[in-house]
Amino acid sequence: MKSAIEEAVKATGDVTPIDKCEAVSGGSINDTFYIKTGSQEYFAKLNRSAPEDFFDAEEKGLRLLEQNGIRVPKPLIILPRREQTEMVFLMEWIPSVKSRGKVDRALGSLVAEMHQKKASSVGLAESNYIGELHQPNHEERNWVSFFRDHRLGAIQKIAVEKGILSQERNNQLDKLKDNLSSLLGHNPDISLLHGDLWGGNWLESESGKPYLIDPAVYYGDREVDIAFTYLFGGYSTDFYAQYKADYPLQDGWKERMPIYQLYYLLVHLVLFGESYGSAVDRILKRYTT
């Protein structure tokens, strides 16, 4: 493990010795480390089993956000997997603090700024990952068909293949998809989305600035990101007040929110099991009966 990290650090041009290599919390998918050399600090993600393009997709997402002026840790280098070694993704280390209070309004403005970056097509040229699941993307003009086929339909297919979607749920989901255009009932502007904006995917730097991390980016209805922020918490009233002041949401967003949350609940059903089944059932029942 350390030899792979050392190789990645040297590939950046930093030939000073590693003084510290400490494990840090960073989710359940990757092993994550704080690295300090004689000249710089780094954040390292290691993965032995993910697909070969797993870190490549994340790096492209970070760079797309960065190119649009959105504050993210700077990606530095990816060391491909070799026999008996992990893939390594090295990026800028952002010293962070745990108290989330004063930064909430700045975070609201940062997310609003991201959502004001527009495109003429939904989706993205290349696929990426939501958690450890493949997230297919496809550039097209129609948001409803994209969300139906490449979000709800794609995760439905995975769930069916894994045998974790009952026939009743599958039928209800088909019915919801068939009526999706009338259920959503609006034609949104196409925004740059983070794509995985749960409460753990941002951090506050020691300087008091918010950073977005671990994206699953594409272009679509910004209400998808907002819906996820409401699903598991982690965002304050100050965050929402500032976001809505900077970029007010369209009428009807609360009625559409459960449909967008359904995608993330189906992802969690696939990844973590039946504990998310009742939430899936409530949304399916609401929109199909």
The SS3 call for residue 62 is helix
User: Locate tokens 């495109």: which residue?
Assistant: 119
CA 184 – CA 32 distance, rounded (Å):
39
The whole-angstrom distance between residue 275's C-alpha and the CA centroid of its chain comes to 21
Q: What is the b/e burial string over 245-267, where b = at least 16 CB atoms within 10 angstroms of the residue's CB?
A: ebbebeeebeebbbbbbbbbbbb
Alpha helix stretches (DSSP H) within 30-92: 54-67
Q: Decide if 95 contacts 43 (C-beta within 8 A).
A: no
**Which DSSP category does 55 fall into?**
H
Q: Decide if 128 contacts 165 (C-beta within 8 A).
A: no
Q: Which backbone phi and psi does 251 adopt, to 5 degrees? A: -55, 140
Q: Enumerate the active-site residues.
A: 196
Own/partner contacts of 158-167, CB < 8 Å, gap of 24 or more, are 158/133, 158/134, 158/270, 159/266, 159/269, 159/270, 162/270, 164/269, 164/270, 164/273, 164/274, 165/269
Give, for 192, the enclosing helix (H) or strand (E). Answer: strand 191-193
Q: Which backbone phi and psi does 174 adopt, to 5 degrees? A: -60, -40
Count, residues in the chain: 289
Question: Which candidate, 227, 213, 226, places its Cα nearest to that of 70?
Answer: 213
Q: Decide if 246 contacts 109 (C-beta within 8 A).
A: yes
